[in-house]
Amino acid sequence: MCGIVGILGNSPAVPRMMESLKRLEYRGYDSAGVATVTSAGLNRRRAPGKLSALSDVLAAAPLEGDSGIGHTRWATHGEPTENNAHPHQTERVAIVHNGIIENFKSLKNELSGTGATFEGDTDTEVVARLLTRYLEDGNAPRDAFQATLARLEGAFALCVLINGEENLMFGAREGSPLVVGTGQGENFLGSDAMALAGLSNQLIYLEDGDWAEITRDTVQIFDRNNTAVQRPVSISQVAATMIDKGNHRHFMQKEIYEQPTVVAQALGRYLDPINGRVKLPDAPFDLATIPKITLVACGTSFYAAQVARYWIEKIARVPVDVDIASEFRYRDPVYAENGLSIFISQSGETMDTLAALRHARAAGQHIASIVNVLGSTMARESDMVLPIHAGPEVGVASTKAFTCQLSVLAAFAVQLASAKGRIDDAAVAAYVAELEHAPTLMAKILRKDEEIEAIAQDISGARDILFVGRGIYFPIAMEGALKLKEISYIHAEGYAAGELKHGPIALIDENVPVIGIAPNDDLSGKTISNLQEIMARKGKVILLSDTDSTAADNMYAHFQMPTAGDLITPILYALPVQLLAYYAAVEKGTDVDMPRNLAKSVTVE
Ligand code: M6R
């Protein structure tokens, strides 16, 4: 959740750290801070709020030094005040941390009992005091760091500087990602490839239990038994220039409008349009023998899983369970022997989803993951990885990752159906042709964005907004509601259209806009009837449909969608609901890319 950067460099560290923190702000923006080590000792600057507040502090009181650590925070323990901001520092050490130290209370009691004092309420400060205690006991830095790690329980990534050691930095990973970046006479640590974009493209991902001792010229990695280990070096695909808003006002806006391009890019990796085939990466299992599929994810990725269930069951006739990751392990799921569990995550680091993946692995399932971040933990722990190739997604509200996830899942469903012998080659080729057409239709929808903008402005004053759809459009309704509430703070819910009369219709009056998602298919007649029931109770219905305008008679508004094949239609309907949320948020003046209380990557349970 928090963003971490560490630099042992040869030029002033603060400007480089601030550039990196700018790219990391999507991971948390409750407070930010930096510390450097020089011959004069450790020094830090911290500020509650966004990174701009820290910039102001640094402008007034600059920090020198070529080596430093920096942090953007998503608060877990302790309010987002300056005292709770990282780095946490004692006279001996400065520390930044991502994750949760679960046994911090007992450690705090122990340290308080021997005279340690604490300035804030965070679990991280306990680590700083504990390491200080081991150094004060006369341990060498490496021994003190090892002894500290041995006492910590929970999930964490740590980056540490030590007073008097200008050419030394420690990092450790347990549950929360941490990556080493190597350079020419300088080395780095970061919470992900984004942190290190522009600093290094040679990355070494630490594994759980690993810790690293880093100087400008050396990187030594040890496992949890303190045995020296080699971890593979990978080349980062993330360039600093990719993480740029361009001419757009917000990252979310840029990412919405990128969708025709990135979906085409994603499909390009999975479709062979010349031969009318789907090509999936190699897997150590045979799709033809998979008896059941379990899809697990959180948030928007969970709604992608729900859409995929319709595709997989309808086209491939394979039973599918779909679960919210944070609930999955606790319901003691019944797995099918030889079953395939698929974990969907933009970041590939979401702790709930990762824990579910490990549960399924322990139960002997085949493991596949659908991720955007290639070197992510989920990707590394899967038997088969289906990357979505969306490029870095910075806006906290997931947009292009959703449509790319859907595109990959649609291709997967078609390939599974083919492997199972449920559809013939001609049907596969027809689906491939349909998928190939999606980017063109997406661009067509985006060209009409002004219509959606006007609707969004009109309804942005509402207190509650409902989204309704049937069948495969029910998850799209829920995704629309999630998008709207997370960035505009308007209360919104997504319902199955037929379910409204069982309770939620009591909410309807002339102040409640209802977004009806009703493509012209075999269910649209029923959905339109449900929308009529809403209108009869004075609800303001806004219809998203390719149906002709007579069906929209007396409705408050109608956004005309293009007609498309069944497979790609849900992908297309994601766009107007994203635009609606975006323009409603802009109208309300909220912080679109960094909505309150949220962070992009949720690495705590
Ligand atoms: O990185 P992941 O896909 O695992 O993230 C899952 C959710 O946290 C994420 O989709 C979240 O719901 C978004 N903010 C929704 O826009």
Protein residues with CB under 6 Å of any ligand 1 atom: 298-301, 345-347, 350, 353, 396-398, 482, 486, 602
Q: Which atom of ligand 1 approaches the CA of 398 most closely?
A: 16
Closest CA to 112 of 130, 124, 134: 130
- Atom 9 of ligand 1: nearest residue by CA position: 299
Closest CA to 378 of 334, 337, 325, 338: 325
Element (H, E) at 517: strand 513-517
Q: What is the C-alpha separation between 157 and 4, in angstroms, rounded?
A: 8
Task: Report how far ligand 1's centroid is from the alpha carbon of 34 (Å).
Answer: 28
Note the pLDDT of residue 245: 81
Task: Report how far ligand 1's centroid is from the alpha carbon of 589 (Å).
Answer: 22
Q: What percentage of the chain has pLDDT greater than the value 70?
A: 99
Looking only at the bridges linking them, the beta strands covering 513-517 and 464-469 are parallel
**Residues with catalytic roles:** 2, 600
Task: Report how far ligand 1's centroid is from the alpha carbon of 52 (Å).
Answer: 25
pLDDT tens figures, 34-80: 999 999 999 999 999 989 999 999 999 999 999 999 999 988 777 88
Cis peptide leading into residue 87 (ω within 30°): yes
Looking up tokens 């008679």 gives: 553
- Atom 12 of ligand 1: nearest residue by CA position: 299
Mutation to probe ligand 1, out of 303, 346, 394, 592 (largest number of atoms < 8 A from CB):
346
pLDDT surpassing 70 at residue 241 = no
Q: Which atom of ligand 1 approaches the CA of 396 most closely?
A: 14
Query: Residue 582 half-sphere exposure, CB side, CA atoms within 13 Å?
Result: 27
Q: In which region does residue 430 sit, left (phi positive, over 0), alpha (psi from -120 to 50) or beta (all else)?
A: alpha
Assign 3-class secondary structure to 402-450. HHHHHHHHHHHHHHHHHHCCCCCHHHHHHHHHHHHHHHHHHHHHHCCHH
Note the pLDDT of residue 604: 73
pLDDT tens figures, 425-479: 999 999 999 999 999 999 999 999 999 999 999 999 999 999 999 999 999 999 9
Task: Report how far ligand 1's centroid is from the alpha carbon of 299 (Å).
Answer: 5
Note the pLDDT of residue 360: 98
- Atom 4 of ligand 1: nearest residue by CA position: 345
Task: Report how far ligand 1's centroid is from the alpha carbon of 503 (Å).
Answer: 28
pLDDT tens figures, 357-381: 999 999 999 999 999 998 889 999 9
* pTM of the complete model: 0.83
Q: What is the C-alpha separation between 34 and 519, in angstroms, rounded?
A: 51
- Atom 16 of ligand 1: nearest residue by CA position: 397
pLDDT tens figures, 76-105: 777 888 988 999 999 999 999 998 898 999
Contacts of 332 (CB under 8 A, 6+ apart): none
Please tell me what DSSP assigns to residue 385. Answer: E
Q: What is the C-alpha separation between 92 and 132, in angstroms, rounded?
A: 6
Task: Report how far ligand 1's centroid is from the alpha carbon of 256 (Å).
Answer: 15
Q: Which atom of ligand 1 approaches the CA of 299 most closely?
A: 12
Mutation to probe ligand 1, out of 255, 256, 298, 488 (largest number of atoms < 8 A from CB):
298
